[in-house]
């Protein structure tokens, strides 16, 4: 690693990876060489999860078997259900997923790395059920965490709403999972790799990642974006209100990116799905407000929307509660985290950077009685 000074390690290469390219000239965003545009248009999330975890796109038989395998792994242990009941209703849903991962690691420990891919699949299968079980329990209902839905998106929406989702809503959610599945050495992925590099277990690495994603400077921007959009009744109000926020130098979440400099290649994809959902819902407000905010941010600050901004409206139209937006991020990114944990383990070296010391010069020790 270079000794160049930079805030937050921006622009510093911290390792090599074959999982993903982000923002490289002429390459855009690719998962194991496949364009995010092609994957979002043609694949389902399970195909992408298989690609990330197992290193190749599945054929039809492999995909069918993989989806069946994930379906068979959805049942939660009774001990985990009891823990979910004890988590307060007031807890943040990210805390529910963090605790779920940690508890499952205690109940089904990783005794060797040979089963690491199966653990990744188990977490992909379990997270939607754990979150919705806790959610419904604290609203007076105990639900089964199993459904016959083939996709994780359909499974989650069925558990959340108690019925099969509309096809457009399911596909929009499925595409969002593809878009959120992986993004190179972002903060949570790097945290997972640091944990894995110490030879800790798979669950600990994922728990580290969830804890990192919980921070609003990494995850949570889609939640803040929704709270912002909901403040305004029309485009004119949005222009005035966000303009006043810019004058006050308030932070507008959902715009700009640490790596991308011109645009986020995922944004236009999720924006198109938000527009389709808005049309289906007869919306005349959210998309108009969102578009007005996007235009103002570009005109005034030359900041473009990232994936989180239009994900907010898309999830709103899918009937997903705002405080579940970042947990849905977890459902998706678990596949990417898993790919990086496996890659780190395959060529492991302890990740231990140095820091530039800016403290006082060497001091002479002063006896306690002589200190003023």
Tell me the C-alpha distance between 309 and 281, whole Å.
Answer: 19
As given in the structure block, the two tokens for residue 56 are 């190749």
Evaluate whether 206 touches 319 at the Cβ level (below 8 Å): no
Evaluate whether 235 touches 115 at the Cβ level (below 8 Å): no
Residue closest to 22 by CA, chosen among 266, 301, 332, 255: 266
308 is catalytic: yes
Q: Which of 161, 218, 283, 323 is catalytic?
A: 218
Q: Which of 257, 264, 316, 340 is catalytic?
A: 257
Distances (CA, A) of 106 to 49, 56, 100, 202: 24, 31, 10, 11
218 is catalytic: yes
Evaluate whether 143 touches 133 at the Cβ level (below 8 Å): yes
Q: 149: buried, middle or exposed (CB in 10 Å: 19+, 13-18, 0-12)? A: buried
38 is catalytic: no
Residue closest to 37 by CA, chosen among 45, 46, 28: 28
Q: Which of 183, 264, 308, 316 is catalytic?
A: 308
Cα 231 off chain centre by:
25
Tell me the C-alpha distance between 302 and 139, whole Å.
Answer: 44
Cα 70 off chain centre by:
19
Tell me the C-alpha distance between 122 and 114, whole Å.
Answer: 14
Active-site residues: which are they? 218, 257, 308
């Amino acid at each position: 690693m270079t000794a160049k000074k930079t805030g937050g390690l921006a622009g510093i290469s911290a390792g090599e990876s074959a999982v993903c390219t982000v923002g490289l000239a002429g390459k855009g965003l690719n998962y194991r060489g496949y364009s995010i545009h092609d994957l979002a248009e043609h694949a389902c999330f399970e195909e992408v999860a298989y690609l990330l975890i197992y290193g190749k796109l599945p054929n039809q038989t492999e995909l069918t078997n993989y989806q069946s395998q994930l379906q068979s792994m959805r049942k939660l242990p009774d001990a985990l259900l009891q823990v979910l009941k004890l988590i307060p209703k007031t807890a943040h849903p990210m805390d529910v997923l963090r605790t779920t991962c940690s508890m499952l690691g205690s109940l089904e420990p990783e005794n060797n790395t040979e089963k690491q891919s199966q653990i990744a699949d188990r977490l992909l299968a379990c997270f939607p059920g754990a979150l919705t079980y806790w959610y419904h329990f604290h609203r007076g209902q105990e639900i089964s965490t199993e459904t016959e839905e083939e996709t994780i998106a359909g499974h989650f929406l069925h558990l959340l709403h108690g019925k099969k989702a509309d096809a457009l809503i399911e596909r929009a959610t499925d595409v969002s999972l593809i878009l959120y599945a992986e993004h190179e050495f972002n903060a949570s992925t790097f945290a997972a790799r640091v944990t894995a590099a110490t030879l800790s277990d798979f669950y600990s690495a994922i728990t580290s990642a969830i804890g990192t994603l919980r921070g609003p400077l990494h995850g949570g921007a889609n939640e803040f974006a929704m709270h912002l959009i909901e403040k305004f009744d029309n485009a004119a109000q949005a222009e005035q209100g966000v303009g006043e926020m810019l004058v006050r130098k308030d932070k507008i979440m959902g715009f700009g990116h640490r790596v991308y400099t011109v645009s986020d290649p995922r944004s236009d994809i999720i924006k198109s799905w938000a527009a389709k959902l808005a049309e289906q819902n007869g919306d005349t407000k959210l998309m108009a407000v969102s578009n007005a905010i996007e235009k103002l941010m570009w005109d005034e600050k030359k900041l473009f929307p990232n994936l989180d901004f239009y994900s907010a409206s898309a999830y709103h139209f899918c009937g997903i509660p705002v405080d579940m937006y970042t947990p849905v991020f977890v459902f998706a990114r678990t596949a990417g985290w898993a790919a990086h944990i496996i890659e780190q383990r395959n060529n492991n070296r302890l990740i231990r950077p140095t820091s530039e010391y800016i403290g006082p010069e060497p001091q002479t020790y002063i006896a306690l009685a002589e200190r003023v």
